[in-house]
Amino acid sequence: MMAKFTPVKSIFACAAQRDTKLQDLAEVLSKKHSIEIIVWSWNEIEDMIEKYEDVAKKFYPHIYKIKIIIQNLDTKASDGLIQNIAIETEKHYASHNETLDKLLENEGFVDYLKKQIDYHLKTNTPLTEQLEKLSKQREEDKKEFAKTLIEARGTDYEALLLEAQVAFENYNETSYREILDRYKANQAGQQYIKNLANSYYLKAKSYYRELNYPKALFEISEATRFDNNNGDYLHWYGYIANDTGDYDTALKYYQKSLVIYEKVRGTNHSDTATSYNNIGAVYQAQGVYDKALVFYKKSLAIREEVLGTMHPDTATSYNNIGMVYKSKGEYDKALEFHQKSLAVIEAVLGMKHPNTASSYNNIGEVYRAKGEHDKALEFYQKSLAINEKVLGTKHPTTATSYNNIGLVYRAKGEYNKALEFYQKSLAINEKVLGIKHPTTATSYTNIAFLFMNQGKYAEALELEQKAYPIYLETLGKEHPQTKNSAMGIEILKSRV
3-state SS, residue 109: helix
Mean pLDDT of the chain: 83
44 pLDDT tier (thresholds 50, 70, 90): low
Could you tell me the pTM of the whole model?
A: 0.63
134-143: Cβ within 8 A, 24+ apart: 134/209, 135/92, 135/96, 137/205, 137/208, 137/209, 138/209, 140/205, 141/168, 141/202, 141/205, 141/206, 142/168
> What SS3 string covers 180-191?
HHHHHHHHHHCC
pLDDT at res. 190: 45
* DSSP element (H, E) containing 219: helix 213-226
pLDDT at res. 39: 42
Residues 6+ away with beta carbon under 8 Å from 389 = 352
What is the Cα–Cα distance from 138 to 444, expressed in whole angstroms?
A: 39
Residues 6+ away with beta carbon under 8 Å from 393 = 80, 428
Model confidence at 43: pLDDT above 80: no
Residue 71 one-letter amino acid: Q
What is the Cα–Cα distance from 329 to 436, expressed in whole angstroms?
A: 34
pLDDT at res. 211: 83
pLDDT at res. 298: 96
The percent of residues above 70 in pLDDT, for the chain, comes to 84
Residue 321 near residue 296 (C-beta atoms within 8 A): yes
Residues 6+ away with beta carbon under 8 Å from 254 = 234, 235, 238, 242, 275, 278, 279, 282
Residue 269: closest CA among 246, 238, 224, 235: 235
Longest dimension (CA), the chain: 82
Residue 376: closest CA among 408, 413, 346, 333: 408
* End-to-end Cα separation, the chain, in angstroms: 47
147 pLDDT tier (thresholds 50, 70, 90): confident
What is the Cα–Cα distance from 187 to 179, expressed in whole angstroms?
A: 12
Instruction: Give the tens place of pLDDT for each residue, 337-373.
Output: 999 999 999 999 888 888 899 999 999 999 999 999 9
pLDDT at res. 496: 86
